[in-house]
């Protein structure tokens, strides 16, 4: 009887402990996530982040020339909601596991269709959608925990994998520029589009991407033809003329913008009229000094 009661007591104690969900002991490799919009594409990363903890990492904890899960626990996942180009290789929209084969001189990086893997034991190279080499570099900064981050280049991104003093990266290109070029060619230059801000946005895009300034001017003119009160388009025209060193045209345009600002209905925000005029007049003087 005593043995039975003792066993029951142990069972109840164990059940009580298992029921607790407030243990003060965090995961040794906590989950890390990134959600980043890059141009027209949303990129997501989900990975577990092991720490150095005074250990030798590459060539020791992470052996050379062996497939690594590039994290801990479950496989690291990389998602794209639109097709992308990764280091020159086309990758369809979807979620992929990220594996690497570290080496002192070069790393093999693989994007794989199987996102169910725990570790790398069942990794199947035939499921790779992209496979490419990158060169590792050293980082002056010590990364105690494995860190994956995205550096957003206009409309594209570079993904960095950093741990200890080692860092590798690879380029992810979106379809943003192609999509924009198609819209400009098929909708704006043909004047099918009838919204002024569509033309203004395209002119703004061409300017900030350092592309075709003359086409941007043409699009800004089309925007103003649809809406003569498009102050955004007026400002872009001034900036484009200034960039092209057509200072007389820039001064004419900014003068028209100042006159429009004096007439513009500010509603109950009249206080901003004088501020806008002062900024435009200061810009006028800066252009005048360049002549």
pLDDT score at 19: 45
Is the pLDDT assigned to residue 290 strictly greater than 70? yes
Is the pLDDT assigned to residue 8 strictly greater than 70? no
**Percent over 70 (pLDDT), the chain:** 92
Domain segments of the chain as ranges: 26-173, 177-290
Question: What span, in angstroms and rounded, lies between the C-alpha atoms of 203 and 14?
Answer: 68
The mean pLDDT of the chain is 92
Is the pLDDT assigned to residue 141 strictly greater than 50? yes
21: confidence class by pLDDT, cuts 50, 70, 90: low
pLDDT score at 10: 43
The pTM score is 0.83
DSSP state letters, the chain: -HHHHHHHHHHHHHHHHHH----S---SS-EEEEEEEETTEEEEEEEE--B-TT--TBTTTB-TTS-B-SSSSBPPEEEESS-EEETTEEE-SEEEEEEEE--SS-EEEEEES----BSSTT--GGGEEEEEEE--EEEEEEEEEEEEEEEEETTEEEEEEEEEEEEEEEEEE-SHHHHHHHHIIIIITTT----HHHHHHHHHHHHHTT--HHHHHHHHHHHHHH-TT-HHHHHHHHHHHHHTT-HHHHHHHHHHHHHHHHHS--TT-THHHHHHHHHHHHHHHHHHHH-
pLDDT tens-digit map of 53-87 = 999 999 999 999 999 999 999 999 999 999 999 99
Q: Would you identify the CATH topology of the domain 177-290? A: 1.25.40
12: confidence class by pLDDT, cuts 50, 70, 90: very low
pLDDT score at 279: 94
pLDDT tens-digit map of 217-257 = 999 999 999 999 999 999 999 999 999 999 999 999 999 99
Is the pLDDT assigned to residue 171 strictly greater than 50? yes
Mean pLDDT of 129-141: 97
The alpha carbon dihedral of 149, 128, 175, 171 has a sign of: positive
pLDDT score at 16: 45
Mean pLDDT of 262-269: 88
27: confidence class by pLDDT, cuts 50, 70, 90: confident
**Percent over 90 (pLDDT), the chain:** 84
């Amino acid at each position: 009887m005593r043995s039975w009661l003792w066993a029951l007591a142990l069972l109840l104690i164990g059940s009580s402990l298992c029921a607790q969900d407030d243990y003060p002991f965090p995961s040794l490799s906590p989950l890390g996530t990134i959600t980043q919009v890059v141009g027209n594409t949303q990129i997501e990363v989900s990975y577990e982040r092991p720490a150095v903890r005074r250990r030798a990492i590459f060539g020791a904890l992470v052996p050379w020339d062996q497939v690594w899960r590039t994290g801990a626990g479950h496989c690291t996942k990389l998602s794209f909601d639109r097709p992308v180009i990764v280091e020159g290789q086309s990758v369809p929209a979807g979620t992929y596991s990220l594996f690497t084969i570290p080496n002192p001189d070069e790393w093999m990086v693989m994007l794989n269709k199987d996102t169910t893997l725990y570790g790398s034991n069942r990794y199947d190279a035939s499921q790779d959608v992209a496979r490419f080499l990158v060169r590792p570099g050293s980082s002056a900064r010590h990364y105690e925990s494995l860190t994956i981050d995205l550096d957003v280049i206009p409309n594209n991104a570079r993904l960095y994998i950093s741990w200890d003093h080692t860092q590798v990266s690879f380029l992810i290109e979106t379809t943003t520029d192609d999509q924009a070029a198609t819209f400009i060619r098929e909708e704006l230059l043909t004047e099918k589009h009838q919204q002024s801000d569509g033309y203004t946005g395209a002119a703004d895009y061409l300017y900030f991407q350092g592309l075709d300034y003359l086409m941007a001017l043409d699009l800004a003119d089309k925007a103003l033809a649809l809406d003569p009160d498009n102050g955004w388009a007026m400002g872009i025209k001034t900036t484009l003329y200034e960039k092209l060193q057509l200072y007389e045209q820039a001064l004419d345009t900014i003068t028209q913008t100042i006159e429009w600002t004096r007439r513009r209905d500010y509603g109950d925000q009249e206080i901003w009229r004088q501020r806008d005029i002062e900024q435009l007049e200061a810009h006028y003087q800066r252009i005048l000094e360049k002549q």
